Amino acid sequence: MGNQPGSGETLYLGIDGGGTKCRAVLLNADNQVLGVGNGGPSNPYHGVARALESIVNASDNALRNAGLTAQDKSRVVAGLGLAGVNLPSLFQVVEQWEHPYKAQYLTTDLHIACIAAHEQDNGAVIVSGTGSCGFAYVDGKSLTLGAHGFPCGDVGSGAWMGLECVKAVLLDSDELGPATAMTELVAEQLQARGIMIVERLNGAKSSDYAKLAPLVFAAAEQGDTVALNIVHTGAEYLNQVARKLWALNPPRMAMLGGVSTRIVDWMDQDLAARMSEPLNQPEFGAAHFARSRFNAEQVAAAP
Amino acid sequence: MGNQPGSGETLYLGIDGGGTKCRAVLLNADNQVLGVGNGGPSNPYHGVARALESIVNASDNALRNAGLTAQDKSRVVAGLGLAGVNLPSLFQVVEQWEHPYKAQYLTTDLHIACIAAHEQDNGAVIVSGTGSCGFAYVDGKSLTLGAHGFPCGDVGSGAWMGLECVKAVLLDSDELGPATAMTELVAEQLQARGIMIVERLNGAKSSDYAKLAPLVFAAAEQGDTVALNIVHTGAEYLNQVARKLWALNPPRMAMLGGVSTRIVDWMDQDLAARMSEPLNQPEFGAAHFARSRFNAEQVAAAP
């Protein structure tokens, strides 16, 4: 990329690390983009070593893209927003990693997504993608709702909808639950019925269940009672999440994730109408987070 | 064990293979027990090689217990009742295994449990243990209900109750669901609250969730509405399973599995009252199955 940074200047690296990939952006002190880079899966819940490797790859790629070398890491202040580090033990492992940067600041993927969505510290986000959760940060106070993962939580997410769909279709196949249009839709998508669905889903991950979410929406739009019940239950959970987050008075709220654009239409009209568009990508939120934490420490350390 | 079998006599081996262990019993032509043996996990769904190794170990142990050697396998007619082989691909893999026996007959763990429970081919069983399912065999016709596994099915099982418990407790911790007495009971048992529960259950198997079932019953007995709803939902599903199985007119029906003795009290009174005690252990059903299949083939092959 264009702007060649001065050789001693502090640089800010933002990392957005999730279950399938890792994005990095490198900014200079003036907030100009020097380089971007990608890496592999980086949720430490699914393997700490692999996550750290992906993070290093993404940051090396961003440095290379900026025309810099690995040696320049020593003037990089890194902000890491990672899935999984809402679990205290994983936060601790990544926090204590012998990182190659000048400084490293760690938080959740949710937190940096929120900063990026609103281009300011204060705000709230609701994620409905493979998983689901809510997050608000207002004047130093934060609240996380959900983020409990599959299969224990994540109501209103793609994986949750897919699992509820499979449960309903299996009950239908045994004639122990109401008939549902999802039975034919699942048969088409998975080429399987009844017990063969279980076979097809042997070892399935949450992202595999999430692939069934579009057919739940399709069946609901056709008026299928069982699918409507799933979509309404998911949307009602997200309504409750939104109301709890608004109670903290964030200046803005945005919905993120692949399922959000569809499920928002099933949420309460007053809540849906108040959602703002996310302004920026999460990795920029991570760089912002790194900069503001680093500056605060510099101020605190000043004589 | 006592009776030394004649050196040419055909022997019957019954194997009951489940997710945590494998039991074998060796019978002579007069149905006398010559030996018994145990092996490790033997659900091919969790690994075919390991399952077959456990089966061989259990049968070797039973032969040794009978004062026989591995060479005697060539006169053993084996009946295998395995969890997981309700999935056609796994049935095929085990069916095509180069087994060391004179003959091998394969069926599900449910089928041999049913034969054993009633000491005859016809009958019905409802399992509520770590998982749940129903099975009936009447005059050559069989019906399997459920057996869909965790987390897609197994309503009314220990694992299902544990998962529903965790879901409810996590909603309670976010104040997005009703308060429940299970929150304190889970906190005691797992030494964890809120997101720490998710951490504690990182990588948990269905059997780990099933360990929470007793506290769901405990909370329900205290009148906790959320726990009552879980137990009632589970019991109602098993009611429906029982009614569908009775429609086939089996001579007897029995309930099996660690959770069955507790959940039966929450089922409809008329159904609970009609349940019979299981008469024998599943591995004896597997030996019976081996004998009757082998005899039927001998008759069919006769000139």
C-alpha pair distances (Å), A108 with each of A121, A133, A147, B217: 14, 12, 11, 37
* Nearest-neighbour CA in chain B from A221: distance (Å): 24
pLDDT in tens, chain A (303 residues): 545 555 679 999 999 998 788 999 999 999 999 999 999 999 898 889 999 999 999 999 999 999 999 889 999 999 999 988 988 889 999 999 999 999 999 999 999 999 999 999 999 999 999 999 999 999 999 999 999 989 999 999 999 999 999 999 999 999 999 999 999 999 999 999 999 999 899 889 898 999 999 999 999 999 999 999 999 999 999 999 999 999 999 999 999 999 999 999 999 999 999 999 999 999 999 999 999 999 998 888 877
* Nearest-neighbour CA in chain B from A150: distance (Å): 10
Residue B215 neighbours by CB under 8 Å, 6+ apart: B165, B182, B185, B186, B189
Residue B65 neighbours by CB under 8 Å, 6+ apart: B1, B26, B34, B35, B36, B37
Asked whether the predicted pLDDT for residue B2 surpasses 60, the reply is no
Cβ–Cβ of B198/A149 closer than 8 Å? yes
* Nearest-neighbour CA in chain B from A26: distance (Å): 32
Whether residue B209 contacts residue B244, with contact meaning beta carbons closer than 8 Å, is answered with: no
Q: Which two tokens stand for residue A298?
A: 């510099």
Distance between CA atoms of B231 and B220, rounded to whole angstroms?
7
ipTM value of the model? 0.88
- A193 in contact with B at a CB cutoff of 8 Å? no
Candidates A146, A152, A237; nearest CB to B163: A152
A147: which chain B residues are within 8 Å (Cβ-Cβ)?
195
Asked: is B158-273 a CATH 3.30.420.40 domain? The reply is: yes
Candidates A145, A146, A167; nearest CB to B152: A167
* Nearest-neighbour CA in chain B from A198: distance (Å): 6
A89: which chain B residues are within 8 Å (Cβ-Cβ)?
199
The dihedral sign for the CA sequence A277, A279, A281, A286: negative
Residue of B48, B87, B92, B148 best to disrupt the A interface, most CBs of A under 10 A = B148
The answer to whether A11-119+280-301 and A158-273 have equal CATH topology is yes
Enumerate the domain spans of chain B.
11-119+280-301, 158-273
Q: Could you read off the pLDDT of B105-134 as tens digits, one per residue? A: 999 999 999 999 999 999 999 999 999 999
- CA neighbor of B52 nearest in space, from B65, B43, B64: B43
Distance between CA atoms of B239 and B241, rounded to whole angstroms?
5
- A132 in contact with B at a CB cutoff of 8 Å? no
Distance between CA atoms of A36 and A58, rounded to whole angstroms?
8
Q: Which two tokens stand for residue B209?
A: 């969730």
- B223 in contact with A at a CB cutoff of 8 Å? no
Distance between CA atoms of A288 and B146, rounded to whole angstroms?
51
Q: What is the pLDDT of residue A4?
A: 57
Residue B31 neighbours by CB under 8 Å, 6+ apart: none
Whether residue A128 contacts residue A255, with contact meaning beta carbons closer than 8 Å, is answered with: yes
Task: Determine the distance from the C-alpha atom of residue B18 to the mean position of all C-alpha atoms in its chain, rounded to a whole number.
Answer: 6
A86: which chain B residues are within 8 Å (Cβ-Cβ)?
195
- A237 in contact with B at a CB cutoff of 8 Å? yes
- B167 in contact with A at a CB cutoff of 8 Å? yes
Residue B183 neighbours by CB under 8 Å, 6+ apart: B169, B172, B173, B193
Whether residue A109 contacts residue A51, with contact meaning beta carbons closer than 8 Å, is answered with: no
Question: What is the average per-residue pLDDT within B163-192?
Answer: 97
Average pLDDT value over all residues in chain B: 94
Between chain A and chain B, the number of residue pairs with CB atoms below 8 A apart is: 75
Q: Could you read off the pLDDT of B10-57 as tens digits, one per residue? A: 999 999 998 788 999 999 999 999 999 999 999 898 889 999 999 999
B148: which chain A residues are within 8 Å (Cβ-Cβ)?
170, 195, 198
B170: which chain A residues are within 8 Å (Cβ-Cβ)?
148, 152-153
Q: What count of residues does chain A have?
A: 303
Helix axes B158-173, B213-221, angle to 10 degrees: 70
Asked whether the predicted pLDDT for residue B236 surpasses 80, the reply is yes
Cβ–Cβ of A166/B147 closer than 8 Å? no
- A203 in contact with B at a CB cutoff of 8 Å? no
A87: which chain B residues are within 8 Å (Cβ-Cβ)?
195, 198-199, 202
- CA neighbor of A263 nearest in space, from A150, A145, A127: A127
Cβ–Cβ of B88/A199 closer than 8 Å? yes
Name the closest residue on chain A to residue B202, using Cα atoms.
Answer: A45
Q: Which two tokens stand for residue B41?
A: 């996990």
Q: What is the pLDDT of residue A45?
A: 85
Candidates A87, A198, A241; nearest CB to B195: A87
* Nearest-neighbour CA in chain B from A145: distance (Å): 6
Distance between CA atoms of B155 and B134, rounded to whole angstroms?
11
Cβ–Cβ of A237/B152 closer than 8 Å? no
Class of domain B11-119+280-301: alpha beta
- B174 in contact with A at a CB cutoff of 8 Å? yes
- A241 in contact with B at a CB cutoff of 8 Å? yes
- CA neighbor of A166 nearest in space, from A234, A226, A238: A226
Distance between CA atoms of A165 and B227, rounded to whole angstroms?
24
Calculate the dihedral angle through the C-alpha atoms of B191, B197, B199, B202, rounding to the nearest 10 degrees: 110
